[in-house]
Amino acid sequence: MAKTPRLTESASAVFAVLAQAGTATRPQLASLAGLSKPTVSSAVAELEGVRLAAHSGTASSGTGRNAAVYRIGPAAGTVLAVDLGPALTRVRGCGLDGTLLAEATGSRAEAVEVVREALAVLGADAPLRTIVVAVGDVTPPEREGDGTRPATDKGGPVFDAVAVALPPGVPVHLENNVNCAALAELHEGAARGRDTFGYLRVGVGIGLGVVIGGQVLRGANGAAGELARLPYPWDDGLDPRHEALEEYIGARSLLRRAAEAWQDADGPCPRTAERLFALAGEGRPAARTVVDRHAVDVGRLAAAVTAVLDPGLLVLGGSTGADPQLLPGVRAELARLSWPTEVTSSTVGDLGTVVGAARLAVARGVRTVTDAARTKD
């Protein structure tokens, strides 16, 4: 990992606002950083001297004079975001101002090649500041017998393989994939302008991203929103089973219920959730019945979430959850069981996890530079 130059506190503050703004003049930087114009001029000169800021043209100041425009410099570096999804691996490389520099997608089996492809595009000229890898579970190790069992990362062996391909010395941070998607909805999706909401993902599995005051709630064990651990079923004579709720609501059980309900007269039974929803959209009665029942089940899960969090807004995402056909049924069941809560479908789609992971990576990358402020002005 490239060594970051020591910065004064003012230069650190100016770099942080410049990275967030993308481009800015010195008066704009002074306003954003809350610093005097002379202090900002000195800070910009310091950042230019270590190539953390660069001149990017001129802009009219409104007084007839042109003002110099600045952007982050080539020494600021890059970050990498990796989404180890259940079927696909998505990778994004970005500058510290969030600019997309590299993008690659492949199957889960091609994860290592996809990561290397993005790294090759980023190149070795600019320092790689940090890497964020989105995985299914980042809860801490659990005690098992007399030993310690590693965290139940659902990307397990795939992450181990990808880790070998990552450049040595670069900090790697694991983040829950649902939390990443929730951040994408907050900044670029259906929850933009709302600082408190829940992101409910329903697909192969289930999960909840909780955003309160613009921040993701992770919990004491990093397990906030792990809906799969909700006890299920609750019924006389039946004991709740481990992750039974996820098993019931997940896409595999949805397809199994479709197969059980399907009749020869309904035509070929759908083998994927996408096909099932497509048939429901065409008005096929059997598919419509299964999808409507799924909406009720998701609505009951939404009611459980609302009872605890009262988030005001629930964004439905995931391979089945994001389908707008679920909205009427989810809204109706939630209204029947709980208090008024807005429900809408995800607008960032399948890219949500890697988009959110990239935002986290950029924020961490900026901190690697600003944390180098160790000297006083």
Q: Assign 60 a pLDDT band (cuts: 50, 70, 90).
A: confident
Q: Which residues pair with 149 in a beta bridge?
A: 142
Q: Assign 67 a pLDDT band (cuts: 50, 70, 90).
A: confident
pLDDT reading at 232 higher than 80: yes
| Domains defined along the chain, listed by start | 7-75 (1.10.10.10), 77-179+354-364 (3.30.420.40), 190-347 (3.30.420.40)
Tell me, what's the pLDDT at 153?
A: 41
Report yes or no: 82 and 117 within 8 Å, Cβ to Cβ. Answer: no
159 sits in which H/E element: helix 156-165
pLDDT per residue as tens digits for the range 278-297: 999 999 999 999 999 999 99
- Residues of the chain above pLDDT 70, percent: 92
- Mean pLDDT check: name the lowest of 1-10, 159-168, 297-306: 1-10
Averaged pLDDT, 179-201: 96
- The span from the first CA to the last CA of the chain, in angstroms, equals 27
Averaged pLDDT, 7-17: 94
Q: Distance of CA 235 to CAs 239, 247, 300, 302, Å? A: 8, 17, 16, 20
What average pLDDT is seen over the chain? 90
Give the C-alpha separation, 233 to 346, whole Å.
Answer: 28
Complete DSSP assignment for 29-95 = HHHHHT--HHHHHHHHHHHHHTTSEEEEEEEE-SSS-EEEEEEE-GGG-EEEEEEE-SSEEEEEEEE
Q: Give me the phi and psi of 334, to 5 degrees please.
A: -65, -40
In this predicted model, which residue has the larger pLDDT, 153 or 175? Answer: 175
Averaged pLDDT, 254-261: 95
pLDDT reading at 110 higher than 90: yes
Tell me, what's the pLDDT at 163?
A: 87
pTM: 0.87
pLDDT per residue as tens digits for the range 120-132: 999 988 899 999 9
Give the Cα-Cα-Cα angle 41, 45, 50 (nearest 5 degrees): 150
3-state secondary structure of 176: strand
Averaged pLDDT, 296-304: 97
Report yes or no: 81 and 174 within 8 Å, Cβ to Cβ. Answer: no
- Mean pLDDT check: name the lowest of 139-143, 157-161, 179-183: 139-143
pLDDT reading at 17 higher than 90: yes
pLDDT reading at 152 higher than 50: no
Tell me, what's the pLDDT at 148?
A: 34
Q: Assign 144 a pLDDT band (cuts: 50, 70, 90).
A: very low
Q: Assign 63 a pLDDT band (cuts: 50, 70, 90).
A: low
pLDDT per residue as tens digits for the range 30-58: 999 999 999 999 999 999 999 999 998 88
pLDDT per residue as tens digits for the range 320-344: 999 999 999 999 999 999 999 999 9
- Residues of the chain above pLDDT 90, percent: 79
Averaged pLDDT, 134-138: 82
Give the Cα-Cα-Cα angle 314, 251, 308 (nearest 5 degrees): 30
**For residues 116-148, b (16+ Cβ closer than 10 Å) or e, as one string?**
ebbbeebeeebbbbbbbbbbbbbeeeeeeeeee
pLDDT reading at 372 higher than 80: no
Averaged pLDDT, 228-245: 91
Tell me, what's the pLDDT at 140?
A: 54
Q: Assign 306 a pLDDT band (cuts: 50, 70, 90).
A: very high
pLDDT reading at 65 higher than 80: no
Token pair for 112: 């290592």
